[in-house]
Structure 1
Amino acid sequence: MQSKLNLEWSPEQIASHLRTRWPDRPERHLCHETIYRALYQGAKGGLSRTLTRKLRTGRPLRKKRRRPDQRMPRFVAPAVLIDHRPPVIELRERLGDWEGDLVVGVRSQSAVATLVDRRTRYLRLVPLPEGHSAGHLRDALITVLSRLPAHARRSLTWDQGSEMARHHELAPYFADGIFFARPGSPWQRGTNENTNGLLRQYLPKRTNLSLYTVDDLRSIEHRLNNRPRKTLSWQTPAQAFTAALAL
């Protein structure tokens, strides 16, 4: 169990792994809440409290979630809103419907772009070493998109940030087009928002993200893509994406 925590697996992922690894040995099964208690209560014979740093939040104490502040739009894109996306995208039944955003560093001076496939939760981290202007983002996304087969590039949903001011130059890479969430509505890109939350364990706020190398980002990407997900019936995003590519 400690080895999985050191790999930043969540208690729920570990609990599922134990049931899968030893299906006929219930004495080895644990509820994820039991693992949390062992971490946070720090009782004698329990897990080291230092392992709380391996959890996504990294908090030494548990706390209630708070409602995130809504971000005001910085750019109103002359493009198609999310309301007009093809209904098939909502079903998560096909590969290639991506959600994207920026993870921004200290004082908004550095950033990394994120692309997440809605069906498989597969993540691509896009380095932006020269900056996150519309031109820089366009060039970086084209580098990643050009390496994907056409059936893995159906649509893209982004927020109305100014970094997407040149979205029309990316449109040819998506068969069904590019769509924009409504201002102050991050839940309309829920898959991406959740993934960005996971990323903050590795790319903390108030950090200079330009210090992360391409190899650093690939290592983080590998960690997240190879952790089992409850929403994928405990498959990993990498497994689900590879299987979907072969269809």
Structure 2
Amino acid sequence: MAGVLTTTQKQLAIRLHAHGFSLVEIARQIGCTPPMVGLMVREKRHLGGVEDPWTPRAGRLSIDEREQILIGVRAKKSFREIAAGLGRAPSTVSREVNANGGREAYRAWGGHVRARQQARRPKAFKLSAGPLLVEVAARLQQWWSPQEIAGRLRRDFPDDEQMHVSHETIYQSLFVQGRGELRRELLWCLRSGRTQRKTRGRLEGRGRIPGMVMISQRPPEVEDRAVPGHWEGDLIMGAGSRSAVGTLVERSTRYVMLLPLGADKSAVTVEARMRETITALPAHLARSITWDQGAEMAAHAKFTLATDIPVYFCDPHSPWQRGSNENTNGLLRQYLPKGIDLSDVSREELLAIQDSLNGRPRKTLQFMTPSEKLTELLR
């Protein structure tokens, strides 16, 4: 009976008819018979019907927007074009269409009903118990970030939806009151060691080093990361800046190598450790190094003369020009937190940390690990 249809369905039917949709197509869209649609479009004055029992909350797609998506799909428009007309992100349109039949069978009313059901049904929290919780907790204890865990689980269990979880769900389980399924002490396995997420910036004062070759003169091949062998470097400092560890990160694989310096972070020692480490690599994996303007690189010319590897320097106060290195140093602080004496850390301990870092999946590598990516290149 026509009376069981909502007013919203009937109005949608009339608008789709005005856009040239056939009675059969309209019937398929709103879930009734073609004769019923014919009756509705002939007697527009007698819409009647029951009120729609649900209205999407602010920010969610409305039935009017779903109608525009349907019209755009039928007109063979791209998701980007449809999204621009709605003032939405292309991914929103893409998810909506793919979840409700795809381009060939998208149903606007079906999407509306599905959204209503999802909004109303009780949702079990994925990290309440079971093997997923065990996996997430174990990887947090390895100091993987929630994003690394979420991405790697999809690689490790590609066909098991029950083992997939978003990084936001992991954060909620750690941070949100009432969702303490992950033990509270696992909070300290997060890189920041804090119970709230917030950004913090820092500026580094650097002196002028003779003979610097600036990053603007670096070859274009370094920028797109397509060619391996280009490294970024820096020091992380211990308590009172009296000790240090050097870090080298390969730009295309994010593979990290740590330089043991202890209490001697002089330019001479840094150059020697860097030369010792970088020359152990195959030549095609040692093409250039980009470093900050720190006094520890005063012997850069000696290094280049001995290895034939150029050193490029970032602009002052521009850590983003060594983005891979900055990110890795943030990860490294989970193992070597600020305020400790880095001269107490042995070479063997640094190698273990290096192995752990290179065994962590990275989002930028589609959640492969740096070790896996480097092995892929070496093959």
Unaligned 5+ segments in structure 2 are 1-135
Structure 1 residues 106 and 75: CA distance shift in structure 2, 3 A: farther
Alpha-carbon distance between aligned partners in 2 of 1:129 and 1:106, rounded to the nearest angstrom = 11
Residue 181 of structure 1 aligns with an amino acid whose one-letter code is C
Alpha-carbon distance between aligned partners in 2 of 1:207 and 1:80, rounded to the nearest angstrom = 34
- 1:90-137 Cα distance to aligned partner (Å, 9 max, x none): 010111100101101111110000000001000000001350101111
User: Partner residue of 1:53?
Assistant: 188
User: Partner residue of 2:357?
Assistant: 224
Residue 30 of structure 1 aligns with an amino acid whose one-letter code is V
* Alignment equivalent of 1:62, drawn from 187, 196, 201: 196
Contact 2:213-2:313 within 8 A present in 1 as well = yes
Residue 206 of structure 2 aligns with an amino acid whose one-letter code is P
* Alignment equivalent of 1:164, drawn from 281, 297, 303: 297
Residue 126 of structure 1 aligns with an amino acid whose one-letter code is L
User: Partner residue of 1:17?
Assistant: 152
Alpha-carbon distance between aligned partners in 2 of 1:130 and 1:71, rounded to the nearest angstrom = 20
User: Partner residue of 1:5?
Assistant: 140
TM-score for the superposition, normalised by structure 1: 0.93
Q: Considering fraction of residues, name the structure with more helix.
A: 2
Contact 1:134-1:163 within 8 A present in 2 as well = yes
Alpha-carbon distance between aligned partners in 2 of 1:164 and 1:203, rounded to the nearest angstrom = 22
- RCO greater where, 1 or 2, for CA within 8 Å and sep 6 or more? 1
Alpha-carbon distance between aligned partners in 1 of 2:223 and 2:238, rounded to the nearest angstrom = 31
Alpha-carbon distance between aligned partners in 2 of 1:130 and 1:47, rounded to the nearest angstrom = 39
Alpha-carbon distance between aligned partners in 1 of 2:245 and 2:180, rounded to the nearest angstrom = 41
Contact 1:85-1:179 within 8 A present in 2 as well = yes
Unaligned 5+ segments in structure 1 are none
Shift in Å at residue 173 of structure 1?
A: 5.6
Alpha-carbon distance between aligned partners in 2 of 1:18 and 1:148, rounded to the nearest angstrom = 31
User: Partner residue of 1:118?
Assistant: 251
Shift in Å at residue 48 of structure 1?
A: 0.7
Q: Considering fraction of residues, name the structure with more strand.
A: 1
1:193 pairs with 2:360: no
Aligned residue pair count: 244
- 1:144-176 Cα distance to aligned partner (Å, 9 max, x none): 122111111100111111111110111146556
1:181 pairs with 2:181: no
1:91 pairs with 2:224: yes
1:81 pairs with 2:218: no
Contact 2:290-2:313 within 8 A present in 1 as well = yes
**Greater C-alpha radius of gyration:** 2
Query: Which secondary structure does the structure 2 equivalent of 1:30 belong to?
Result: coil
Residue 65 of structure 1 aligns with an amino acid whose one-letter code is T
Query: Which secondary structure does the structure 2 equivalent of 1:227 belong to?
Result: coil
Contact 1:128-1:136 within 8 A present in 2 as well = yes
Contact 1:110-1:131 within 8 A present in 2 as well = yes
Residue 31 of structure 1 aligns with an amino acid whose one-letter code is S
Contact 2:151-2:366 within 8 A present in 1 as well = no
Alpha-carbon distance between aligned partners in 2 of 1:227 and 1:118, rounded to the nearest angstrom = 16
Alpha-carbon distance between aligned partners in 2 of 1:56 and 1:206, rounded to the nearest angstrom = 15
* Alignment equivalent of 2:376, drawn from 234, 239, 243: 243
Greater alpha carbon shift after TM alignment, 208-217 vs 140-149? 140-149
1:28 pairs with 2:159: no
Structure 1 residues 42 and 223: CA distance shift in structure 2, 3 A: farther
Contact 2:278-2:286 within 8 A present in 1 as well = yes
User: Partner residue of 2:286?
Assistant: 153
Alpha-carbon distance between aligned partners in 1 of 2:250 and 2:180, rounded to the nearest angstrom = 41
Percent identity of equivalent pairs:
45
Residue 192 of structure 2 aligns with an amino acid whose one-letter code is T
Contact 1:100-1:115 within 8 A present in 2 as well = yes
Contact 1:19-1:29 within 8 A present in 2 as well = yes
Structure 1 residues 63 and 32: CA distance shift in structure 2, 3 A: closer
